[in-house]
Amino acid sequence: MVLALKDHFVWDSWYIRDGDTWHGYYLKAPRSLGDPELRHLNASIGHATSTDLVNWDQQGHTFGPAEGPAWDDYTTWTGSVVRGDDDLWHLYYTGTSHAEDALYQRVGHATSTDLHNWTRVGDGLALDLMGENAHHYEADHMVGFWHDRAMRDPWVMKDPDGDGWLMYFTARKADVAEPNAGGCIGFATSPDGYDWTLQPPVFVGGYGQLEVPQVFEKDGHWFCLFCTAAEHFSKERAETTQTGPTTGNHYLIGDSPRGPWQLAPEFLDGALPPARYAARIVDTDDGLLILGFADRPGGGDFVGHVMDPEPVRVTDDGLLELVPQRMAAE
């Protein structure tokens, strides 16, 4: 049973486990919009729970834009949830404003005691492309190249090598001549999950957008999952990719959560027409599972639900691969 809503498009999602219960958060927008491309500026965040990541109980709306005027009074987009040192649940999310026509993205922060009712920390703003390391990033909207100033999809995790917290996000590197060569994984650090310091990107290049990053460790290997589209391949990447440009979920391999990172040899999960996008990998009692939303599999209309999970494994070479369904059933 897919994670779906009859009257809403569902797309990007993220997950956190509390005891035996998985909490899934997802972007949603009314199907009454007609054109699925309109969903982005009409999004809010929904919440569902499950014990098996297949059968879901809908909990309804959980978070949305602030009452204006505010830096996040237009859209609230993709993020992540963690349990903090203060025993509160922390939601980090992407926000945009009406005043800037949703062109400038920033990272927001809210907390909860029950994983459903969220309260912004102050005005909610946690991080912007400002400070001594802002020069590493495309901090202004490059009109004519992109539809936005990218700073979105924050993935937050505990620093395994210290007492603080790490944040990864979608951004673009400054001063890269080819737009599709400037996509990067942005980086920030915090001692407590509240006060964040922008750091230089941990990875740059290959694509114009490296969306929805997720950093995790499995079997002693570090991975950074991300998604991208065929039209965002750099010229070099398009020429050197054996199968040609594709759309879907790719990943980086690293020595530690701070890198250095390098591209994996092949996409984990790519297809044209696009099938699964904005995937997450969750570590369950039965191993790794991948979940992402159904885009346009088979070349049809936009589907807009989160597909059932499929197993993923780490190979002997330290790479990720989907487990064929026949093998998964054995």
Given this model, what pLDDT does residue 157 score? 99
Q: Is residue 3 part of a domain?
A: no
Mean pLDDT of the chain: 96
Which two three-digit tokens encode residue 29? 């927008």
Tokens representing 54?
């297949």
Position 2 in a domain? no
For the chain, percent of residues with pLDDT exceeding 90: 93
Residue 1 domain flag = no
In a domain, 184, yes or no: yes
By CB neighbour count within 10 A (0-12 exposed, 13-18 middle, 19+ buried), where does 12 fall? buried
Higher-scoring residue by pLDDT: 142, 150? 150
pLDDT of residue 13: 99
The answer to whether residue 146 sits within a structural domain is yes
82: in domain: yes
On whether the CB atoms of residues 78 and 94 are closer than 8 A, the answer is: yes
Q: CATH number for the domain including 218?
A: 2.115.10.20
| This prediction's pTM | 0.97
State the average pLDDT over residues 127-134. 98
pLDDT digits (tens, 9 = 90+) for 226-247: 999 999 999 999 999 988 999 9
- pLDDT tier, 223 (very low <50, low <70, confident <90, very high otherwise): very high
- Residue at 190 is within a domain: yes
Among the listed residues 246, 224, 220, the one whose alpha carbon sits nearest the alpha carbon of residue 316: 220
Cα distance between residue 271 and residue 69, in whole Å: 41
* pLDDT at position 329 over 50: no
The structure tokens listed for 287 are 């191993």
Q: Which amino acid is at 308?
A: D
Question: pLDDT tier at 261 (50, 70, 90 boundaries)?
Answer: very high
Q: Which two tokens stand for residue 210?
A: 């490296």
Please report which confidence band the pLDDT of residue 1 belongs to, taking 50, 70 and 90 as the band edges: confident
pLDDT of residue 68: 84
Q: How far apart are CA 24 and CA 118, in angstroms?
A: 15
Residue 44 clears pLDDT 60, i.e. is over it: yes
**Domain count for the chain:** 1
With cut-offs at 50, 70 and 90, classify the pLDDT of residue 327. Answer: low
- pLDDT tens for 244-253 read 999 999 999 9
3-state secondary structure the chain: CCECECCEEEEEEEEEEECCEEEEEEEEEEHHHCCHHHHHHHCEEEEEEECCCCCCEEEEEEECCCCCCCCCCCEEEEEEEEECCCCCEEEEEEEECCCCCCCECEEEEEEECCCCCCEEEEEEEEECCCCCCHHHECCCCCCCCCCCECCEEEEEEECCCCCCEEEEEEEEECCCCCHHHCEEEEEEEECCCCCCEEEEEEEECCECCCEEEEEEEECCEEEEEEEECHHHECHHHHHHCCCCCCEEEEEEEECCCCCCEEECCCCCEEECCCCEEEEEEEEECCEEEEEEEECCHHHCCCCCCECCCEEEEECCCCCEEECCHHHHHC
* For range 105-115, the mean pLDDT: 99
Among 83-92, 142-151, 197-206, 287-296, whose mean pLDDT is lowest? 142-151
Q: Per the domain annotation, does 26 fall within a domain?
A: yes
Output the CA torsion sign for 77, 82, 83, 85.
Answer: negative
279-309 residue pLDDT tens:
999 999 999 999 999 999 999 999 999 999 9
Q: Is the pLDDT of residue 224 over 90?
A: yes
Confidence band (pLDDT; 50, 70, 90) for 326?
Answer: low
Is the separation of the CB atoms in 16 and 52 below 8 Å? no
Query: Which amino acid makes up residue 38?
Result: L
Mean pLDDT of 190-214: 98
The reported pLDDT for the residue numbered 186 is: 99
Range of the domain at 289: 8-329
328 — pLDDT class (breaks 50, 70, 90): low
